[in-house]
Structure 1
Amino acid sequence: MTFLKRPNDFLFRVLLVVAALSLAALCTLVIYGVVMRYVFADAPDFVEPIALLLVIAIALFGAALRVREGGHIGLDSFVKKLPPKGQTIVAGIQHLCLIAFAVAIFIGCLEMAETTRHDRIPILGLPEGLRYCIPIVASICIAMFSTEHLLALFARKHK
């Protein structure tokens, strides 16, 4: 179990820092854009495309972080009424579904990144495929975090 926990701990900390920095940058960027637009009547063009990339990073890395903490969406009121064995089975199914979802995101975004790699994000000039690299990283993290939870469930079951 330690073989996956240590890398996931490191990955969790990196994602947390990147998500926090992205949120701080987004707040700063939006304030800058609003001040420039309404105070100086000179709205910068680059604010919106950068803000979109930051929102994607915040949302998807935040989702991965919540998976690691076990705080993703669930039907807790139903699951808590099940016996312990039923709760374990439902948790296992839940993590298998999260892994399947992460694989679907990974494959879909990999195809989109490949398809759009020669296109450019207007104003920024960056490759359009960059938008899809963020979900690819997040899906890998979600799969790793869910696998860690599955291994923990399996280890508890065999104790």
Structure 2
Amino acid sequence: MYTRLCATLSKLSLQLAAIGLMLILLCMLYMVIGRYVFNDMPAWAERLALLLTLYVTLLSTAVSVRDAGHIGLESFLVLAPDWLRLKLEYVIHGLLIVFGALMLYFGTTLAISYWGETIPTLEWAPDGLRRIPVALCGGLMILFSIEHIIALVKGTEVEPSWH
């Protein structure tokens, strides 16, 4: 059940990142048309594209932790004997949990502290929105690393999100 939850969260994150990429493309297209056709580039489009870039990047980063696409000393692990490789994988996922917890804590703290301000040229958007992806990524990294540790204990592999 936990694996199904993580797989669903991972697929949802990938879908949101894909939608975010399409929205970034539309923002950029609108900026180019505004600049070269109407000679008036909308200032909000660039800020919105930057905000969406944060979400796309950090959601994709969390998914790469689940799909084992992160930097995990892979070349060293391949050369290590099985008894050492397994221990190193526990250490790597434990460190990812610690890093994810720090991202979750500090991202949440920053989002709360900046929530009362607005993003320049996006008056409708609280500035805390720029900090939420850090916390979201950290929380997902924790969940996905725990899934990997459970798989290591069981002796199984985590199925990638794109399957």
Q: Could you say which TM-score interval applies, normalised by the shorter chain?
A: over 0.9
Distance in 2 (CA, whole Å) between partners of 1:146 and 1:77 is 20
Q: Among residues 80, 83, 95, which one is paired with 1:82 in the alignment?
A: 80
Give the counterpart letter for 1:72 in structure 2.
H
Q: What fraction of aligned residue pairs are identical, expressed as a percent?
A: 32
Per-residue CA deviation, residues 100-154 of structure 1 (Å, 9 max, x unaligned), is: 1110011111111121111111121211111111221221111100100011111
Per-residue CA deviation, residues 71-111 of structure 1 (Å, 9 max, x unaligned), is: 11132222111011111111111111111111001111111
Q: Among residues 51, 65, 69, which one is paired with 1:71 in the alignment?
A: 69
Query: How far off is 1:52 after superposition?
Result: 1.1
Give the counterpart letter for 2:148 in structure 1.
H
1:114 matched residue in structure 2: 112
2:154 matched residue in structure 1: 155
Pick the structure with more strand per residue. Answer: 2
1:91 matched residue in structure 2: 89
Query: Which 4+ runs in 1 deviate beyond 6 A?
Result: none
Query: How far off is 1:27 after superposition?
Result: 1.3
Distance in 1 (CA, whole Å) between partners of 2:8 and 2:109 is 28
The number of equivalent residue pairs is 155
Per-residue CA deviation, residues 38-64 of structure 1 (Å, 9 max, x unaligned), is: 232110011111011111011100001
Distance in 1 (CA, whole Å) between partners of 2:2 and 2:33 is 46
Whether 2:129 is the aligned partner of 1:130: answer yes
TM-score by length of 1: 0.92
Matches for 1:32-71 after TM superposition, within 5 Å: 32-71=30-69
Distance in 1 (CA, whole Å) between partners of 2:73 and 2:93 is 14
Distance in 1 (CA, whole Å) between partners of 2:110 and 2:153 is 35
Unaligned runs of 5+ in 1: none
TM-score by length of 2: 0.90
Whether 2:9 is the aligned partner of 1:14: answer no
State the Cα RMSD in Å.
1.3
1:27 matched residue in structure 2: 25
2:160 matched residue in structure 1: none
